[in-house]
Amino acid sequence: MLTGAQYLTSVQDGRRLFIDGKRIEDPLNHPLLASAFRFAASGYDRAYQPGATHGPYYTIPLTQGDLRAQLKAMGHWDDLASVTSTGLMALITAAARMSDHPEYGDYVARIRAYHQHCMENDLRCVQAITDAKGDRRLSPSKQDDPDLYTRIVERRADGVVINGAKLHITAAATAHELIVMPTKMMKPGEEDWAIACAVPVNAEGVSIVNTTYAPRGDDSDYWPISSQASYPEGFIIFDHVFVPNERIFLAGHVEHSATFAHSLGLWERLGGTAHMIEAADTLVGFAQLIAEANGVERISHIKDKIAEMIIYATLIRGCLEAAITHAEQTPEGWVHPNELYTNAAKHYGAAEWNLMVRHLHDIAGGAVLTAPSGRDLANPEIGELVAKYLRGKAGVDAAYRARLFHAIRDYTADAFGGWWLVTLIQSGGGLYAQRMVSTKHYPLDKAKQRALRIANFPETATPTAIASPAQP
């Protein structure tokens, strides 16, 4: 296992990173990225156990108990560790699904070797799936620029060369490996777009253009959350990147082009939903803390709003619990959360987040925006007067109340808050996608039968023949 320091050394590997229109020469010390690398490094240090062969992210859960333990452990993982787990689990699952036919034997062997490689070297991986897509009404082969979906541009004896872009890749700049997968089902004739593979972040031809919610100011008290922990979003470009054969997991077999995305789906929402529950609890905590600091925690409509927030957090948590209680097994014996419950939890949590943020703002008051900063409090000329007026009831000092306001602003009404708003909706493909997945996994036929039974349809009834069962 690597220590944080070893990790920091490992990523100084010549990777091509950009932000704000400039190539980043020294990522570890760039004002907008440094905290991301520090955050990833702290994840290594938290997990580090001398003598252990590898971190917990590389382990496949085999029982419901494993899954529940993993969910609990995840609370201590950083996001990069989480997506490493998700990405490798998706690969392993895809391998299992391809293992029924000798034709795919190479792919299966390579995936297993790659999993071993990452585990042994304690590497961090991100899954790179969403393509540029160009005109969304057209399939990959119909786009006026064939690179709008990542594709093979050249096949060589020792590997392939790929072009394309992968979007919205959280923490890509801080990872070691990009796990590239097709974004959707490809059709016969689209063999070049049926490409899954692994690419090191510093491979020749890879560039990552970054955006981030990391604060642009240097006052870590004013942004008490986002100044400490942030991951950039990566817009990854593959410009004639060579992938050696041993890192190719699919190349042209369109019949398995969607296998990777589906495998990913099994695993990816566990972490996301678990994270959302913690965020929901955090909102409740802020609401109660600021209500107390403002002295309004006993007012009826305030309590009512906090109760709604509590029920919100509890519903998501309950539904994720059910996803684990009803965990499903792959044919290989691996245990993943129930998809219906996970999707329902994810949808609800995302759909109602904005309302919960509104409740928090309604409770907290305008000082979320207007509270002077810690530096104002420290200013020798004005600080004392600021403190005099920014305090709450007796026992609640200005510095304490100010920090709560800044934390709430940072978390819900500044760049990081905006990142939450968009990310909760978009992760997992938008609310619409989650509705469709939920429908797919819900036992609709059983519900129909129940309705027919409740309505006292005779058992022999069909839409074309029905005799009244009940009339005397």
Touching a second copy, residues 28-67 (CB under 8 A): none
Considering only residues 65, 105, 217, 244, which one is a binding residue for a second copy as defined by CB under 8 A? 217
Pairwise CA distance, residues 319 & 315, whole Å: 6
Q: Which of 278, 216, 221 is nearest to 420 (CA)?
A: 278
- What minimum distance in Å lies between the beta carbon of 56 and a second copy? 22
Cα dihedral 424, 339, 263, 185 sign:
negative
Cα dihedral 82, 86, 92, 93 sign:
positive
- What minimum distance in Å lies between the beta carbon of 221 and a second copy? 5
Considering only residues 10, 139, 242, 442, which one is a binding residue for a second copy as defined by CB under 8 A? 442
Nearer to a second copy, 179 or 377 (CB): 377
Nearer to a second copy, 15 or 409 (CB): 409
* Residues 294-353 within binding reach of a second copy (CB under 8 A): 294-296, 299-301, 303-304, 306-308, 310-311, 313-315, 317-323, 325-326, 340-341, 343-345, 347-348, 351, 353
- What minimum distance in Å lies between the beta carbon of 29 and a second copy? 14
* Residues 167-206 within binding reach of a second copy (CB under 8 A): 167-168
Candidate segments 47-55, 105-113, 187-195, 214-222, binder of a second copy by CB under 8 A: 214-222
Per-residue mark of binding to a second copy, 129-168 (x: CB under 8 A): -x-x-xxxxx-----xx-xx---------------xx-xx
Count the Cβ atoms, other than its own, within 10 Å of residue 370: 10
Nearer to a second copy, 95 or 356 (CB): 356
Per-residue mark of binding to a second copy, 385-424 (x: CB under 8 A): xx-xxxxxxxxxx-xxx-xx-xx-xxxxxxx-xxx-xxx-
| DSSP type of residue 224 | T
Nearer to a second copy, 8 or 132 (CB): 132
Cα 435 to chain center, whole Å? 18
* Residues 221-250 within binding reach of a second copy (CB under 8 A): 221-222, 224-225, 227-228, 233-235, 237, 239
Does 113 sit near a second copy (CB under 8 A)? no
Pairwise CA distance, residues 312 & 314, whole Å: 5
Contact of 35 with 68, CB cutoff 8 Å: no
> In which residue are the tokens 């369109």 written?
254
Three-state secondary-structure class, residue 444: helix
Nearer to a second copy, 59 or 314 (CB): 314
- What minimum distance in Å lies between the beta carbon of 172 and a second copy? 10
C-alpha separations of 192 from 101, 197, 425, 441 in Å: 21, 13, 31, 31
Q: Give 63-70 contacts, CB < 8 A, sequence gap 24+.
A: 63/335, 64/324, 64/325, 64/327, 64/335, 66/335, 67/270, 67/324, 67/327, 67/335, 67/336, 67/337, 68/324, 70/270
